């Protein structure tokens, strides 16, 4: 998976998120133990949350729970007060459920939108505290803070609904981050079709990308934050009906 570079909004978000992460680090607890093969298998809990968490597979998911003709619509980087409500309305109009990969600081800032996403029947995904696309070059302690603190922020903002997936910013997964997320019940989540909507290529180009690449796999990447998203909305308005006409059904990534 190609990393997304050159996104100024995320640079500003990272600067803000680093302060949040430093403050929240004391409330997150994580441990790691060696597995028989010598790798590190993290086992984590979030301080003050005693509810049991069922572990999930640590490999990166791409498949749909709707089978071979399923499609997973994933929406990244929000919630955003301008664009998320419009995306929610569009999904509702088309009868589509999606997976929203939320940045922790955004979830904390707009808890009402997180609750709206959950109330509409969509699923939550942890997209870290500050969307650092260089996470795979950072220490395990840093990765833990980014994942666990975002989990806490999203869960609190939602009113207690946990994220079911973890998507590394820009695809910057590591074996450690994947196992840590899985130990918290968050399946690592990849993508098969990148619309590159953050580059504003035009709605027609984004639609063409989906139509030409959906045969490669079911998980499609869009964004509802990080910039102006009118092209994303225009592309979704065309893509969602087309996928239905082609016999696809909408589901969630496998867990």
Tell which residue, 26, 254, 39, 54, has the closest CA to residue 148.
26
Strand 28-34, strand 40-46: pairing:
antiparallel
**Strand pairing partners for 126?**
102, 166
Helical axes 83-93 vs 230-245, angle rounded to 10°: 20
Query: How many angstroms separate the most distant Cα atoms in the chain?
Result: 51
**Strand pairing partners for 74?**
99, 221
Q: What does the alpha-carbon distance between residue 183 and residue 78 come to, in Å, rounded to a whole number?
A: 24
* 54, 48 contact by CB (below 8 A): no
Tell me whether residue 223 is one of the annotated catalytic residues: yes
Cβ neighbours of residue 196 under 8 Å, at least 6 residues apart? 206, 209
Among 10, 80, 223, 224, the one annotated catalytic: 223
Among 4, 76, 194, 224, the one annotated catalytic: 76
Tell me whether residue 76 is one of the annotated catalytic residues: yes
Known catalytic residues?
A: 76, 223
């Amino acid at each position: 998976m190609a990393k997304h570079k050159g996104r100024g909004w995320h640079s500003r978000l990272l600067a803000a998120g680093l302060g949040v992460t430093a403050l929240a680090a004391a409330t997150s607890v994580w441990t790691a133990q060696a597995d028989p093969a010598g790798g590190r298998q993290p086992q984590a809990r979030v301080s003050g949350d005693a509810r049991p968490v069922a572990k999930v597979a640590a490999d990166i998911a791409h498949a749909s729970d709707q089978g071979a003709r399923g499609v997973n619509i994933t929406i990244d980087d929000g919630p955003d007060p301008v664009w998320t409500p419009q995306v929610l309305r569009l999904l509702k109009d088309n009868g589509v459920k999606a997976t929203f990969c939320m940045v922790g600081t955004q979830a904390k800032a707009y808890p009402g939108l997180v609750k709206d996403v959950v109330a509409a029947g969509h699923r939550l995904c942890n997209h870290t505290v500050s969307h650092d696309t260089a996470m795979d070059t950072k220490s395990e302690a840093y990765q833990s803070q980014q994942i666990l603190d975002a989990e806490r922020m999203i869960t609190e903002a939602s009113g207690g609904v946990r994220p079911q997936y973890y998507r590394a910013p820009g695809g910057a997964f590591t074996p450690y981050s994947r196992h840590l997320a899985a130990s918290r019940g968050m399946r690592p989540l990849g993508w098969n079709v990148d619309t590159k909507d953050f580059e504003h290529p035009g709605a027609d180009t984004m639609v063409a990308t989906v139509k030409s690449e959906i045969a490669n796999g079911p998980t499609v990447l869009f964004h509802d934050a990080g910039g102006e998203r009118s092209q994303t909305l225009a592309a979704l308005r065309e893509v969602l009906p087309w996928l239905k006409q082609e016999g696809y059904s909408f589901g969630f990534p496998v867990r």
